Amino acid sequence: MSRYRGPKLRVTRRLGILPGLTQKKSKKTDRPGQHGKNLGDNKKKTTEYGLRLEEKQKLKFNYGLSENQLYHYIKEARRRKGVTGLILLQLLEMRLDTICFSLGFASTIAAARQLVNHGHITVNNNVVDIPSFQCQINDIIGVKQKKASKNLIENNLKTANLMDLPTHLTFDKSKLEGKVKNYCDRSELLLDLNELLVIEYYSRR
């Protein structure tokens, strides 16, 4: 398993807010590590490589990707016509676990991944248990017609710290169904990220 199982707040103290990793906030404000207290905002590592590395790490931790998975998405984004950075983000936002998170089915992308793995989520009325499944425009994301699955999602919707639903998705709460209308809008991305630096990080490969 390549899934990150370590301390999450330690990661957010280093990289900033990662809504897909955790909704919790650390009481500590210093960067982690032995010299974290001595590293103010002006004394952080400012090398070009360091900046690109941190932006890449944000993507990895927020979306719960392995290095190989992220590099696969980078290659796919390069292959398609258009702005590579935007296409990369659209590919990640069209993952099934990310869409379940955006719809409010789970509080984090990691929790949404577990829902998918356990067979609670359907795409066009077919159960899909692959979190990295690439959804397409007009796909219907629903909940398995099983009482346990519906109760789980309904409880998550009640307790979730719901944010505004992205404009590329619609959600029918009575049916527990969401629909993908379009690709995501860059301005609505919750993650504070400079995707150009991520592309530059991988430009050497």
Mean pLDDT by 10 residues, the chain (205 residues): 69 78 70 56 69 90 90 94 92 94 90 93 94 94 92 85 80 91 87 90 83
Distances (CA, A) of 9 to 30, 38, 39, 201: 11, 19, 17, 25
Between helices 109-117 and 147-159, what is the axis angle to 10°? 170
Task: Count the Cβ atoms, other than its own, within 10 Å of residue 158.
Answer: 9
The per-residue pLDDT for 1 is 41
pLDDT per position as a tens digit, 159-181: 766 567 888 999 998 889 999 99
Tell me, yes or no, if the two domains 8-91+190-204 and 95-182 fold the same way.
no
The per-residue pLDDT for 134 is 95
Q: Pick from 48, 59, 14, 60: which is nearest to 204 by CA?
A: 48
The per-residue pLDDT for 8 is 73
Superfamily of domain 95-182: RNA-binding S4 domain (3.10.290.10)
CATH assignment of 8-91+190-204, given 1.10.3720.10, 1.10.2020.10, 1.10.1050.10, 3.40.50.360? 1.10.1050.10
The per-residue pLDDT for 45 is 58
- Ranges of each domain in the chain: 8-91+190-204, 95-182
Burial string for 192-203 (b: 16+ CB within 10 Å, else e) reads ebebebbbbbbe
